[in-house]
Structure 1
């Protein structure tokens, strides 16, 4: 058997000013040919699961490309074609099975439905090819995705700690169908709800209950897979929103019933999927009264893991203004600051205009650097391997990295965007996060993968950035209307 294994992943924030070109995929992870096997064999990724299954089958494995970029703006048209072309060429060359590790919220300048377009092109080449697809919990599911694959599934965890498991599950379903063991049919639907990412943590309500419904559904006879996608509201495209897909063994009526049951419950809980804000000054003042740490402070509006610039200094400035002590920050993106610190050398005292390198026209904000003085504590190449439960075994490349110690705050400064979901963002530069009073993280929910075990308290800081949870700051042009909460609708 000849098995095609490919990964093409990007969560597109259409409000982000960060350019998504071929080089950006190279920064985070772009591998071709046998290098894909070297990069992902034995990892906790869907691609890792695919490789393991194919090798156990004794299959000939074809790995044209595995590419992922940190979330950012729309994928450039030529980059989208360069990512797609090797996969399409491999299909033209002939294969018996395709195992695809995709995201579900890729928007390119040439198509608002990156994954659906790819799958449609594959189907045009080989209409009968068995195709298994793994998608992110933040997928904006489309008809094109569903209609052009054999079966698809999404993660049931946020932070995404079950990527390997769901990849294995959907691959086994499709392989089983090839062996005559099952006949997968899919039923899907969505509700007009722009659920906010900050309200999609699967350890919290309301998402916790919805995921429990999906897990319960998978115990019903005949149900092969049940997925709820929270969706990604920062991708301004027609199909953005919450959706459900059910895979059953030949029973479309059963799939429809399970789908409708879960969709109805999501809609009932729609108000709970919207975040309520607290003024930044109040939140920091409250944090200052907490004496036992670590206290996690989430600068969620500047989370590069959802497409932010990672150089907005609003929350950091307020923490410094109110005099919080023993703070570690991960991370500020500022390659120029890193170069200045490299030139000064470890131990030198420097004054920097830190951050604020990026303008954000979609929210009418210009870059605003913050002047800070401190000691150059550490300089590294920014490379380390994840040992925590999310992206296990994957090599992180933050680019040249530095730590600035102001006395009250240690700031990790990176040259490549990286969301701090693993404690390695600190331990790789000599900081022990469990001994800090405050950890200020530019993250939303993924931080829990590495930091939940050590956190004593967690607070959200409503700063500025293009991953804001304030819908009033965003001008939607392409999403279907009416949709909640942009429109206060009561039915769907």
Structure 2
């Protein structure tokens, strides 16, 4: 086969059961790309889509002649359950465009893997199964998912290989897209897979799923997987899961794909899961109370001989469905008269509009969250001065957003007491230095930096802060790592760290070549 026809599609969002519903507008404002527009963005110098598809396309271009068949890619910032009608509309479009594109030689699916809708707990499984039904049992399908995906049996059954990220922060998205291209090429040429997977009774908060060496058992599982050297192995993916989706498929999942060797796949999956189970106590988070964190910030702001601090407002992470506007840490900084601090990014389109109306250099009365009525988005008022205004568009320079376009909407840098606050219009996790630097702010000169981010900032702000200078703050929010604060109803129980479980033995489920579901 000289030029295989390979379809590309995806529906990518991480859904927090406790956050407001995600709508069509949330996807359109980030990335909703069809046909030639999808391929053009993938091949652009600064794509708006996540890096997997661009890397897949670039890698396929180097491997062999091929015919890309771009279908549709929909991506939104992490949010609440997706409006089900919008999801079904997208499904219909997937099916119509796939059928119109037949015959196909292969399909690449790029998903996040932790979506839910207002009516469906496993939209990713629905997408995967739809694709399999349309293209048939013989057509190879490879899917990539986020490290925080929740993996269902039907997701595994519907594809030949499922590949997840290995790095948290997610600096390897492009590498995994390239992996998908290489695996799919091998499948097109006749390779057949065997897959084993085991889902553990572990629903760790995202703060416990970092992958830097020495950060815990999750990092060690990935290190052990990467150390395996066996030509029979196609891929090992250790998928941490996303607890806030609150679904029956929640749970840390080990997936092993081999070149037809089911016993080997099962053995590796069970061994990795057994190790993690022995170390399960480490999946319980330890945070610094907000009062203690702000007290340390005050000491640091008053003593220039001390190393600067970074406070991570992990409970209000837009990258996990947080609204990016809780006022608790900002209010505490002002009450303690902390100086030389910068805080970002606060999502408040009405406040950003007020700042633009006032103009650079002007003082005005800032009213935070006057239009937001969701949990923890408490109204807050303070005198402010507009330092600088910006349209909010740029290109990331480090970490997860490096080389990618972003659009924060009309944005403003405000001086509120001793704190410079960055206010944006389009909700986004603060994991990119350019979110400050586009206002002319020198991050290295700040005494205290507060980020509304859970952990992805570590890949970009490491040029300013060592791990010893970073404090994860225990404050209220929709992404608090203290899972006992949430009313979980769909999550399988018992699970670590919410429950005490004395014993558990892994038993991998195996999918043999040719058994993929098409129903």
Identify whether the pair has TM-score above 0.5, normalized to the shorter chain. Answer: yes
Q: Secondary structure at the match of 2:399?
A: coil
* Matching of residue 118 in structure 1 with residue 127 in structure 2: yes
Asked whether the 8 Å contact 1:173–1:184 carries over to 2, the reply is no
Q: Secondary structure at the match of 1:34?
A: helix
Cα distance in structure 2, aligned partners of 1:391 and 1:299: 20
Partner of 1:49: 55
Match of 1:464 among 459, 466, 476: 476
Size of the alignment, in residue pairs?
485
Partner of 2:11: 8
Q: Secondary structure at the match of 1:461?
A: strand
Cα distance in structure 1, aligned partners of 2:379 and 2:498: 32
* Matching of residue 107 in structure 1 with residue 116 in structure 2: yes
Match of 1:68 among 67, 75, 88: 75
Partner of 2:218: 207
Structure 1 unaligned segments of length 5 or more: list them: none
Q: CA deviation at 1:36?
A: 1.4
TM-score normalized by the length of structure 1: 0.95
Cα distance in structure 2, aligned partners of 1:388 and 1:30: 24
Matches within 5 A, 1:83-482: 83-93=90-100, 94=102, 95-127=104-136, 128-180=138-190, 182-203=191-212, 204-217=215-228, 219-290=229-300, 291=304, 292-355=306-369, 357-360=371-374, 365=375, 367-456=377-466, 457-482=469-494
Structure 1 moving runs of 4+ over 6 Å: none
Q: Secondary structure at the match of 1:13?
A: coil
Cα distance in structure 2, aligned partners of 1:65 and 1:411: 37
Asked whether the 8 Å contact 1:196–1:469 carries over to 2, the reply is yes
Cα distance in structure 2, aligned partners of 1:320 and 1:83: 45
TM-score normalized by the length of structure 2: 0.90
CA deviations over 1:185-228 (Å, ceiling 9, x no partner): 111011111111011111122322111012112x2331111111
Cα distance in structure 1, aligned partners of 2:391 and 2:308: 27
CA deviations over 1:229-256 (Å, ceiling 9, x no partner): 1110000110111010011111111111
Cα distance in structure 2, aligned partners of 1:471 and 1:390: 26
Partner of 1:39: 41
More deviation, 381-390/247-256: 381-390
Cα distance in structure 2, aligned partners of 1:136 and 1:220: 25
Asked whether the 8 Å contact 1:287–1:459 carries over to 2, the reply is no
Q: CA deviation at 1:6?
A: 1.6
More deviation, 63-72/144-153: 63-72
Cα distance in structure 2, aligned partners of 1:379 and 1:296: 24
Partner of 1:485: 497
Q: Secondary structure at the match of 2:163?
A: strand
Cα distance in structure 2, aligned partners of 1:169 and 1:347: 50
Q: CA deviation at 1:170?
A: 2.5
Cα distance in structure 2, aligned partners of 1:429 and 1:7: 34
CA deviations over 1:454-479 (Å, ceiling 9, x no partner): 11410111111110112222101111
CA deviations over 1:304-329 (Å, ceiling 9, x no partner): 10001111100111122112211111
* Matching of residue 80 in structure 1 with residue 87 in structure 2: yes
Cα distance in structure 1, aligned partners of 2:110 and 2:250: 20
Q: Secondary structure at the match of 1:214?
A: helix
CA deviations over 1:416-438 (Å, ceiling 9, x no partner): 10111111111122212122111
* Matching of residue 25 in structure 1 with residue 27 in structure 2: yes
Structure 2 unaligned segments of length 5 or more: list them: 505-519
Q: Secondary structure at the match of 1:85?
A: helix
Cα distance in structure 1, aligned partners of 2:463 and 2:354: 35
Q: Secondary structure at the match of 1:431?
A: coil
Asked whether the 8 Å contact 2:208–2:285 carries over to 1, the reply is yes
Cα distance in structure 2, aligned partners of 1:289 and 1:214: 43
Cα distance in structure 2, aligned partners of 1:191 and 1:404: 46
CA deviations over 1:311-354 (Å, ceiling 9, x no partner): 11001111221122111111111111111111111110011122
More deviation, 400-409/331-340: 400-409
Cα distance in structure 2, aligned partners of 1:403 and 1:254: 56
